[in-house]
Amino acid sequence: MGSISEPEPKVSYSKPPGIRLVEQIKKSPISYKTHQAIVLVVTFLAYASYHAARKTTSVVKSTLDPQSSITSLNSWPWRMSYLSEPAESRRLSRVLGDGWAPFNGSDGTALLGEVDLAFLAVYAIGMYFSGHLGDRTNLRIFLTIGMVGAGAFTAAFGVGYWANVHTFYYFLGAQVLAGLFQSTGWPSVVAVVGNWFGKKKRGLIMGIWNAHTSVGNITGSLVASALLRYGWGWSFVVPGLIIATVGVVVFLFLPVSPEDVGASEEDELPSPKKIGAGVTEPLLEPEVKGKESAVGFLEAWKIPGVAPFALCLFFSKLVAYTFLYWLPFYISHTAIDGKYLSSESAGNLSTLFDVGGVLGGILAGFISDRLGARAITAASFMYCAIPALYVYRSYGHVSMTVNIALMFITGMFVNGPYALITTAVSADLGTHSSLRGNSRALATVTAIIDGTGSIGAAIGPLLTGYISAKSWSAVFTMLMGAALIAGLLLTRLVVAEVAAKIEESRSRVSASRPQPAVLDV
pLDDT higher than 90, residue 448: no
CATH class of residue range 14-66+99-264: mainly alpha
Same fold? 14-66+99-264, 294-505: yes
pLDDT at 517 over 70: no
Of the pLDDT bands very low, low, confident and very high (cuts 50, 70, 90), residue 263 is confident
- State pLDDT tens for residues 352-407: 998 898 899 889 888 888 888 888 999 999 999 999 999 999 999 999 999 999 99
d(C-alpha 457, C-alpha 120), whole Å:
7
pLDDT at 255 over 80: yes
Domain 294-505: assigned CATH number: 1.20.1250.20
Which carries the bigger pLDDT value, residue 426 or residue 508? 508
Residue 376 neighbours by CB under 8 Å, 6+ apart: 368, 494, 497, 498
Please check the confidence at residue 436 and state whether its pLDDT lies above 60. no
Q: In the prediction, which pLDDT does 240 show?
A: 96
Note the pLDDT of residue 265: 65
The proportion of the chain whose per-residue pLDDT surpasses 70, expressed as a percent, equals 78
Confidence of residue 140 (pLDDT cuts 50, 70, 90): very high
Q: Which residues pair with 336 in a beta bridge?
A: 339
Mean pLDDT across the chain, nearest whole number?
79
Pick from 73, 243, 81, 66: which is nearest to 151 by CA? 243
**For the chain, domain boundaries:** 14-66+99-264, 294-505
Q: What is the pLDDT of residue 221?
A: 87
Is the model more confident about 140 or about 187?
Answer: 140
SS3 assignment, position 339 = strand
pLDDT of residue 512: 67
pLDDT tens, residue by residue, 85-121: 344 433 433 334 578 888 887 788 888 888 988 898 8
The answer, yes or no, to whether residue 7 has pLDDT greater than 50, is no
Lowest mean pLDDT, pick from 189-198, 201-210, 306-315: 201-210
Give the pLDDT confidence score for residue 294 in this predicted structure: 54
3-class DSSP assignment, residue 336: strand
Angle at 163 between CA 76 and CA 176, to 5 degrees: 85
pLDDT one-digit tens code per residue, 265-303: 654 444 444 334 444 444 444 444 444 555 566 777 777
Average pLDDT score over residue span 307-332? 89
Which pLDDT does position 10 carry in this prediction? 44
Pick the residue with more confidence: 301 or 252? Answer: 252
The confidence score (pLDDT) of residue 297 equals: 65
| Residue 175 pLDDT greater than 90, yes or no | yes
Q: How far apart are CA 419 and CA 359, in angstroms?
A: 10
Tell me how crowded residue 478 is: count the other CB atoms within 10 A of its CB: 19
Q: Mean pLDDT, to the nearest integer, of 446-457?
A: 82
- The backbone torsions φ and ψ at residue 339, rounded to the nearest 5 degrees and listed phi first, read -125, 145
Residue 213 pLDDT? 83
pLDDT at 21 over 60: yes
Q: Identify which has the larger pLDDT, 158 or 116.
A: 158
